[in-house]
């Protein structure tokens, strides 16, 4: 007897095939270019998993250990591959376990399509076993969601889901499919991708008059400054952005998610913005005369006090999402549109310039920061190791070509500050939501998304324990992820705030941890503990040379703080070096 998969190999244009909703879903995923699914089965999604049994040669399913791990893995996959991440979960707790990842993906503009199973349609609203109103629960944290109760809807709904997830400002989409729709047979006429939805305009119309006005401001500026974010990367506009920066000669600083849009060592790349960003970019934000924001949203961690943020500057804001323009910082010239389209127009309209004296001012602040902070962090003379020196040696051994996946906390800020990113899609972290537990599963997905690149997860001892069960996913899938735990025996970022602003009242931040190397060994993953600086470089080399995954735990100083720092409630020009 023919299987459904064999039946669907090459249907004629007008031919229909009688298939289940589950088979139609899998065919839609394949048509959209899906190659990897991260998921966890359960009762309400069982028909889809039953159909998946016959698709092992076309769809690689990675069995995670928790649905939150699955969605973070989907995020990591999307961030390194540039494709839509796909996640499966069952109803009830399976679906609700996706909520943190959905919120994370929503605020960080990560394209996902999440498929959740649901109870039979006739049981909806009866409080059936593992029934949850996943549509209302996830509405605030998705770009779009929809519940399918009839199998005939599946092809069109999945087409819309992928189109919405990847178009315009990307984001997560959730499709909830009742069990009856999964098993229902219908005449499937093939899959047609979606390229238009009435009333949905993913990209605003580019207005030439605003391009011209922006160019005039830039051409007349004496101290212009570029702030760039992830929008450059999401738009695939890295080359267009580089051309703009180099023709304009304007210093450019990046948000955490914008790292890698141009190489770290580019002469016009002046560093990181924000609370733990570099000294010059923060101080000089309040001295520039024209501020050019590209694909960034003026997050509070970047701006500090809004009433003291860049009040002297005229603001040019390029963004694909009109809702971001004027939301936090009032723009002088709004440039709506995809930066891959708007940047070439702006580059053509501006004059070629160099801002030598202005750039020298950034370099002077960099020298001050090196003397006050960076030198001691990267070349400590204290007996205990610092997080910064670990990142420095990792840079040297990977030549800045690795994908760095970070969790949330002090290690995240240190890694973002000191890691070198020679190419785009190299920095994977939880930006807007700040999700502890993100890094380990995201690194798994990142490796599947970029199988030919070295993927290193840098994680704190606190965040690692939130999703360490995903070591089981590494064990079973055989994925090659290098894991560095920077263990300071504290919830470090909270401890830093308690030290600086709560008179060292360390309230529940002293965290005890298991033997991480032994834990990794229980999952058949080799590992090593380093507590002596003399062994660090050798251990890093061993980690990178070992085939497959490896866990390296590095004991770092307990009470080291991340500086510079903009204290909460202060302006960016009040950044502290100590």
Catalytic: which of 27, 67, 369, 389? 67
CB neighbours of 322 closer than 8 A, spacing ≥ 6? 204, 334, 336
Nearest Cα neighbor of 227 from 316, 307, 138 is: 316
What are residue 39's DSSP bridge partners?
Answer: 63, 88
Q: Is 272 a catalytic residue?
A: no
Catalytic: which of 179, 314, 447, 482? 179
Nearest Cα neighbor of 391 from 401, 378, 408 is: 378
Q: Is 179 a catalytic residue?
A: yes
Order of strands, sheet of 269-272, starting from the edge strand that comes earlier in the sequence: 269-272, 252-254, 224-228, 290-294, 314-319, 333-336
| Residue 258 burial class via C-beta count within 10 angstroms: exposed 0-12, middle 13-18, buried 19 and up | buried
Q: Is 563 a catalytic residue?
A: no
Q: Is 129 a catalytic residue?
A: yes
Catalytic: which of 275, 436, 493, 565? 493
Catalytic: which of 15, 129, 239, 501? 129
Q: Is 493 a catalytic residue?
A: yes
Nearest Cα neighbor of 435 from 85, 3, 107, 58 is: 107
Spatial separation of the C-alpha atoms in residues 443 and 480, rounded to whole Å: 9
Spatial separation of the C-alpha atoms in residues 525 and 281, rounded to whole Å: 41
Run of H or E including 56: none
CB 249 within 8 A of CB 354: yes
Catalytic: which of 46, 58, 120, 130? 130
371's tokens: 């003397």
Maximum alpha-carbon separation in the chain: 77
557's tokens: 């100083």
**CB crowding 159-194: b at 16 or more within 10 Å, else e:** bbbbbbbbbbbbbbbbbbbbbbbbbbebebebbeeb
What is the phi-psi region of residue 197: left when phi exceeds 0, alpha when psi lies from -120 to 50, beta otherwise? beta
What residues act catalytically?
67, 129-130, 179, 493
């Amino acid at each position: 007897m023919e299987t459904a998969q064999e039946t669907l190999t090459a249907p004629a244009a007008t031919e229909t095939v009688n298939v289940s909703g589950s088979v139609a879903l899998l065919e839609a995923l394949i048509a959209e270019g899906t190659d990897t699914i991260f998921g966890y089965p359960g009762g309400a999604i069982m028909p889809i998993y039953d159909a998946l049994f016959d698709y092992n040669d076309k769809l690689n399913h990675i069995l995670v250990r928790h649905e939150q791990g699955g969605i973070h893995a989907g995020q990591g996959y999307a961030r390194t591959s540039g494709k839509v991440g796909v996640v499966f979960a069952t109803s009830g707790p399976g679906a609700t376990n996706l909520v943190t990842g959905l919120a994370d993906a929503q605020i960080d503009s990560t394209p996902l399509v999440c498929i959740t199973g649901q109870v039979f349609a006739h049981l909806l609203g009866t409080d059936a076993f593992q029934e949850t109103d996943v549509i209302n629960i996830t509405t605030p944290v998705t770009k779009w969601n929809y519940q399918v109760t009839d199998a005939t809807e599946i092809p069109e709904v999945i087409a819309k889901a992928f189109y919405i997830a990847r178009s315009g400002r990307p984001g997560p989409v959730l499709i909830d499919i009742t069990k009856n729709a999964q098993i229902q047979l219908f005449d499937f006429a093939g899959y047609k991708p979606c390229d238009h939805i009435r009333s949905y305009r993913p990209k605003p119309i580019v207005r030439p008059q605003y391009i011209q006005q922006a160019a005039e401001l830039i051409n007349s500026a004496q101290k212009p400054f570029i702030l760039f974010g992830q929008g450059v990367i999401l738009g695939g506009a890295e080359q267009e952005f580089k051309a703009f920066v180099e023709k304009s000669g304007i210093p450019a600083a990046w948000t955490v998610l914008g790292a890698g849009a141009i190489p770290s060592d580019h002469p016009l790349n002046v560093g990181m913005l924000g609370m733990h960003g570099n000294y010059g970019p923060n101080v000089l934000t309040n001295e520039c005369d024209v501020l050019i924001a590209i694909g960034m949203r003026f997050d509070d961690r970047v701006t500090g006090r809004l009433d003291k943020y860049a009040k002297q500057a005229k603001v040019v804001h390029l963004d694909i999402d009109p809702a971001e323009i004027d939301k936090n910082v009032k723009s002088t010239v709004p440039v709506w549109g995809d930066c891959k389209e708007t940047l070439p127009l702006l580059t053509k309209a501006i004059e070629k310039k160099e801002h030598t004296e202005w750039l020298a001012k950034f370099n002077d602040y960099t020298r001050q920061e090196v003397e006050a902070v960076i030198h001691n962090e990267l070349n400590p003379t204290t007996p205990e190791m610092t997080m910064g020196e670990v990142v420095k040696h990792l840079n040297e051994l990977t030549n800045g070509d690795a994908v760095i996946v970070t969790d949330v906390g002090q290690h995240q800020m240190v890694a973002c500050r000191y890691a070198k990113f020679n190419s785009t899609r190299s920095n994977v972290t939880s930006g807007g939501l700040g999700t502890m537990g993100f890094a380990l599963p995201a690194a798994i997905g990142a490796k599947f998304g970029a199988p030919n690149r070295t993927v290193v997860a840098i994680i704190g001892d606190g965040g690692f324990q939130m999703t360490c069960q995903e070591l089981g996913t590494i064990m079973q899938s055989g994925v090659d992820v290098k894991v560095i735990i920077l263990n300071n025996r504290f919830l470090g970022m909270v401890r830093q705030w308690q030290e600086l602003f709560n008179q060292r009242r360390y309230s529940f931040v002293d965290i005890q941890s298991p033997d991480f190397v032994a834990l990794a060994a229980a999952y058949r993953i080799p590992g090593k503990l380093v507590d002596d600086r003399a062994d660090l470089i050798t251990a890093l080399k061993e980690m990178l040379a070992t085939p497959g995954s490896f866990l390296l735990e590095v004991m770092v100083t307990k009470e080291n703080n991340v500086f510079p720092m903009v204290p909460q409630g202060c302006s960016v020009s009040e950044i502290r070096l100590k």
